[in-house]
Amino acid sequence: MRVAQIIKEHIEVNSVEKVALSGKKGAIVKVLGCGLCGSDIVKFRHRLSKDGTVLGHEIVAIIEEIDSDTDFKTGDRIVCSHHIPCFECHYCKGGSYSMCHHFKQTNIIPGGFSEYVYLSEEHLKNVAHKVPENMSDEEISFYEPLGCCIRAIERANLNKGDNVLVIGLGSIGILMGQGLKAYGMNIYGCDLMKERINIANSKGITAFNSIDIEASHDYIYRNTQNIGVDAVFMTSGADAAIPLAIKTVRDGGKILVFSSTPKDFGYANNDIYYKELTVMGSYSPHPKDLKKSFKLLTQGLVDTKDLSTCYDMNDIAKAFDDTINNKILKAYVRIGG
């Protein structure tokens, strides 16, 4: 089978032995396509994965072979995530499912940028769903990324009607904004790129250009009765996102960190102290968050049409390059079909 591997700082399409059930419970699925996640970019750019690694986890696939106690059957078109918590450890019992050691160890094999993938019985029972016929592969491929956003929204524990600012309107920022809106929040979004601002506005997010921090502060305060937003969701990895978040969040508000920043310099202690801010992170979803994501997508409450740019598997290196150079919003790599 064909796979896209990291080979000496490049992405190469090579041929390897096809995965097999070999007496295991689970399924062999033919991958129709896989979204390119920001975490894939980080692993590739910062050389966090060894040679031979197959990245990718946002898969849409057809079940080719199955031995499972679930209701799935051969020929089903499914969407699936890659990590599953154990539900029993200290982290899981405390609600920190993505910190669970089992969560971090589980994965689809060998990775989403592959013609075929092995899904364990755990995957089928917890994080896989049959895709409705009326949904395209590209639309439903946002199932796992939106699940991550749902996890963040629920961790923030906001009240319906709260004012929320999403900083960074890449694909995740647009998903986050729509997710927050579906939960009943008043949503603002900002970015430096006009095209992304326009897309966000078309998806029901009140978006503006954030090139000037003081002007952004004034805009937010004019629209929130001179209070500031109740929460800021940081989906941008830019250093400037931190002072913008501090400037626009109200006293006693929340900052939800959903991205890393290059300098990793963190927050000024006095800002957190005197404004009594809650600063928290959110990383990856629980199966319940994924189920909610699937529902929002299939019911049309989050619109992912036209967010993806499609690439053939042979052009996957270009998909990585275009993403890194901000030429596109989101890459979806077509693999089978």
Domains of the chain by start residue, with CATH: 2-141+308-334 (3.90.180.10), 151-281 (3.40.50.720)
* pLDDT tens digits along 290-326: 999 999 999 999 999 999 999 999 999 999 999 999 9
* pLDDT tens digits along 222-246: 999 999 999 999 998 787 888 999 9
Residue 262 predicted with pLDDT over 80: no
| Backbone phi, psi, residue 251, to 5° | -60, 135
Percent of the chain with pLDDT over 70: 98
Q: Say how many Å lie between the first and final Cα of the chain, rounded.
A: 14
Instruction: Give me the chain's average pLDDT, please.
Output: 95
Residue 191 predicted with pLDDT over 80: yes
Residue 273 predicted with pLDDT over 70: yes
The answer for residues whose C-beta is within 8 angstroms of residue 97's C-beta and 6 or more apart is: 85, 87, 91, 103, 284, 285, 286
Predicted local confidence at residue 109, as pLDDT: 97
Q: Which of 54, 72, 53, 71 is nearest to 63 (CA)?
A: 72
Tell me the pairing of strands 77-80 and 10-15.
Answer: unpaired
Per-residue pLDDT band at 48 (split at 50, 70, 90): confident
Predicted local confidence at residue 267, as pLDDT: 65
Residue 170 predicted with pLDDT over 90: yes
Give this prediction's pTM.
0.95
